[in-house]
Every structure is written in structure tokens, then in C-alpha cells.
Homo-oligomer: A and B are copies of this chain.
Amino acid sequence: MNVQFKKGVLELCVLALTAWEDRYGYELAVSISHKFEVAVGSVYPLLNRLTLEGYFSTYLRESPEGPPRKYYKLTPLGHTHLMELTVEWRSFSQAVDQIIKEGVER
């Protein structure tokens, strides 16, 4: 899988996955890597950045089988940001599909 494609989209993915329930970092990394390859070392710095930017608040809970889990909860600002990113992603990916169609499938 092309490494570059993921830039910026990983952000959209973690925001989307926390829209309805709080999640912890490792869980997010595993969830996403079911769809496309992603390293845990890519997810944590991202979560920290998004928290610093005010899109997440966090809290700790014990895990039944390991160190305590750090849960990420979307803030109202985070919700807004998620919606904006989703809209941008849709229009961007449609533009790319169109270029492929015009170029490749003619």
C-alpha cells in the first residue's frame, strides 16, 4: 500500500472511528490496520497532536489484560473538524476518480 496516500487520511479515520464511541489508541491502530496497513507508531503521535489541537479529550481506564488504556473522546470542536474533513475527503476523492476516468478509461 502506497505510504503517501495515508498522509492526512489517517487523521480522518481516527476521528471517524471515535464519532460514536470513545476508543483507546491501540484499538484504533488495530481497527484501521484491518482496512489498510498502519503502524502503531503512526497512530499515537497523531492522537497526541489531535488532543493538543483540542479535537480530543482523554481519560484512563484499567484494561482487563494489560496496562491501562487511554481513551480518546471527541470534543465538539473535534466533531466539527471531522465533518469538515469528511466533506473535503469526498470532494477530493471524487475529483481524483474523475481524473482517472478521463485519463485511464478513455
Q: Which residues of A contact B (CB under 8 A)?
A: 1-9, 11-13, 15-20, 32, 35-36, 82, 85-86, 88-89, 91-93, 95-100, 102-104, 106
Residues of B within 8 A of A15 (CB): 103
A86 to B99, CA, bound (A): 11
Q: How far is the CA of A88 from the CA of B89 in the complex (A)?
A: 17
Q: How many copies does the complex hold?
A: 2
A56 to chain B, nearest CB (A): 14
Chain B residues within an 8 Å CB radius of A85:
2
Given A1-B91, A16-B102, A89-B100, 12 extra CB contacts under 8 A: A5-B92, A7-B8, A13-B100, A15-B103, A16-B99, A16-B103, A17-B103, A19-B103, A35-B95, A35-B99, A36-B92, A89-B96
